[in-house]
Chains A and B, each alone.
Chain A
Amino acid sequence: MERPDVHEALRRLLGPDGPDFDCDDCFRVIDLYVELELEGGDADRAVPRMRAHLQGCPSCSEQRRALRAFLRGEPATP
């Protein structure tokens, strides 16, 4: 598509292609996923459908960003 914001908006609207899991599944593994990300591990390989879910779920995506920022000691700026 023409602009990155359009692509992002379309992805938010149309969500991930293929198998997905829901927010409760995401909640069960988000701690593992974020730790692996911060440790430089292959989080997407360990939790294969997580990235697709995060792309399609703004709420879980924000949870991941917030938990990640917190564990990295970043200030709580919006």
Chain B
Amino acid sequence: MADLPASASPAGDADPRVVRDQESSEWLRDLRADGHRREDAVARLHALLLRGARYTIARQRTLLPQFWESDLEQLALESADDATVAVLARLDDFRGESRFTTWAYKFAFLDATSKLRQRAWRGREIPTEPESWTLLGGSADGDQPAELAELLTAIGDGIAEALTERQREVLVAVAINGVAIEVVADRLGTTRGALYKTMHDARIKLRAYLAERGLRPLEDA
């Protein structure tokens, strides 16, 4: 994977570590303080992250229709707890390019989403077969145009022939069957970043396979 772009810092910021707003500076000061000031800041941070976790869970509520509201609240609390620990452990990573609260919220969003999806897939098998070509707008009923039918056939052949078993499982599960990348990563005992790398490599191979057959499906879109 490529390194982060150097231009990730907003233009004109001579030092990205200079926190650009007063509120963010106060958060950092209080979280790095001792005693009651820090305890109070940690409590405020937890409340902030709980709000973010609840929002994330409410947004994806349909993933867990069988859960009671109390179960979801427990999930939100666990996410807020874990996100608080993560934020405190990574305070030095805050570069001041965004507001501190925005930076902190993303930890709660990621953790809550991950927990929610893990629960949603608990006890279920991850689909790693391309059983639903209709997701690509095609189907087995012969109703699609010949050009599309040819492309879908080539994609199916490419997935079967050009990819390793691991690449095939990951690409099909995530990109065709819509399983969340963190769920697949957890099942395979790897990280999101490593899994994305696997998917990236699979896509390069699949694109090359199609190009060798004169098919460049995204170029004429």
Contacts and interface: CB of A to CB of B under 8 A. Distances in A.
Contacts, number: 162
Contact of B113 (A28, A30, A46, A63): A63
Which bucket holds chain B's interface residue count? 35 or more
A5 B197 contact: no
B137 interface: yes
B136 A7 contact: no
Given A6-B148, A19-B2, A20-B1, A30 B207 contact: no
A59 B180 contact: yes
B36 interface: no
Question: How would you classify the secondary structure of chain A's contact residues: helix, strand, loop or mixed?
Answer: helix
Contacts of A23: 181, 192-193, 195-196
B56 A71 contact: no
B200 A25 contact: no
Contacts of B197: 22
B193 A9 contact: no
A9 B218 CA distance: 10
A15 B105 contact: no
B18 interface: no
B123 interface: no
B181 A58 contact: yes
Interface string A16-32: 01011111110111111
B137 A66 contact: no
A27 B145 contact: no
Contact of A14 (B11, B60, B113, B207): B207
Contact of B174 (A21, A58, A63, A70): A58
A59 B193 CA distance: 12
Given A22-B197, A78-B61, A58 B180 contact: yes
A10 B175 CA distance: 9
Contact of B207 (A5, A17, A49, A59): A17
B31 interface: no
12 contacts: A1-B148, A3-B137, A9-B135, A10-B217, A17-B218, A20-B1, A21-B5, A22-B196, A23-B181, A29-B4, A71-B105, A76-B56
Closest 6 CB pairs of A and B: A6-B137, A76-B58, A24-B193, A31-B98, A15-B203, A23-B192
